[in-house]
Amino acid sequence: MTEQMNKKHPLIALHKINKYYQMGENTLHVLKDIDLTIQEGEFVSIMGPSGSGKSTLINVLGFLDNDFAGEYFFQGKTVTHRTDRQISELRNRRVGFVFQDFNLIENMTVAENVALPLIYSGLSSHEARPRVQEVLDHMGIGHKLNAKPYELSGGQRQRVAIARALVNSPDFIIADEPTGALDTKTSRKIMDVIAKMNQEMGVTTVVVTHDPSLQRYATRHLMIVDGRLRESDVHEAEQVAEQVRQERLKREEDAQ
């Protein structure tokens, strides 16, 4: 085997990613020269002010957005020149998403929601069943298989969403403010679930969060300001998260 073949690649490597939105006559430059390498097993937190480009960045990371300049290497292979079909295959098999508002389908049962990625991969609902039961058991909500999302608490809904993200055994999980709609106690439990998933199952995890108490779960902290990304540390992350939290509270108060 050549040295090249022996070399282990990082899971993700972004080189000089730039992202623009065209707004009529104006061009909005949202991601600026982003260089980022994520190794397998890392737990990365991303934070930054509202509008700084966090969601845009994770949409690129998660193959939701393929319209950017620069080079994206996934497991050593470039993503940039793949066909739409190859990109949707990556999106469906390699990454699991967890969103702030859970994104569950209200008229489907818990089991049907969790089975969706498997069905998209070509399994029948009968074939999907054992795996769905397994991940739901793992999340501690195996007994809610036939419930509808509206019959669940916020924490239970987020567990269902995490189960759905994990069901295809993805290489990494992206969570965009997964605890943003939950109270403090439930947030901590959900973050414990995510941290355990990273530590015990070894799933690489990228989380956008502004909860100061959640920053310490991450093994690496990134800050994005005005489209530029840089490394940070847990102390700064906690401080900035607290600042963002205060600003949000103030905005909410002003709005009332």
Ligand X SMILES: Nc1ncnc2c1ncn2[C@@H]1O[C@H](COP(=O)(O)OP(=O)(O)OP(=O)(O)O)[C@@H](O)[C@H]1O
Nearer to ligand X, 164 or 210 (CB): 210
Work out whether 55 is an interface residue with Mg ion (CB under 5 A): yes
CA distance 88 to 93: 9
Nearer to Mg ion, 25 or 67 (CB): 67
Among 9-17, 46-54, 79-87, 118-126, which window interacts with Mg ion (CB under 5 A)?
Answer: 46-54
- Write out the two tokens for 216: 């310490």
Q: Output the CA angle 132-138-142, nearest 5 degrees.
A: 60
Strand pairing of 172-176 and 220-225? unpaired
CB of 246 to ligand X, least distance (A): 15
Binding site for ligand X (CB under 6 A): 21, 23, 28, 30, 48, 50-56
CA distance 96 to 201: 14
CA distance 147 to 184: 25
- 3-state SS string for 39-56: CCCCEEEEECCCCCCHHH
Among 49-57, 60-68, 78-86, 117-125, which window interacts with Mg ion (CB under 5 A)?
Answer: 49-57
Nearer to ligand X, 115 or 229 (CB): 229
Nearer to Mg ion, 54 or 138 (CB): 54
Beta bridge partners, 221, equal 45, 232
CB of 98 to Mg ion, least distance (A): 13
CB of 132 to ligand X, least distance (A): 31
| Residues of this chain that bind Mg ion (CB under 5 A) | 54-55
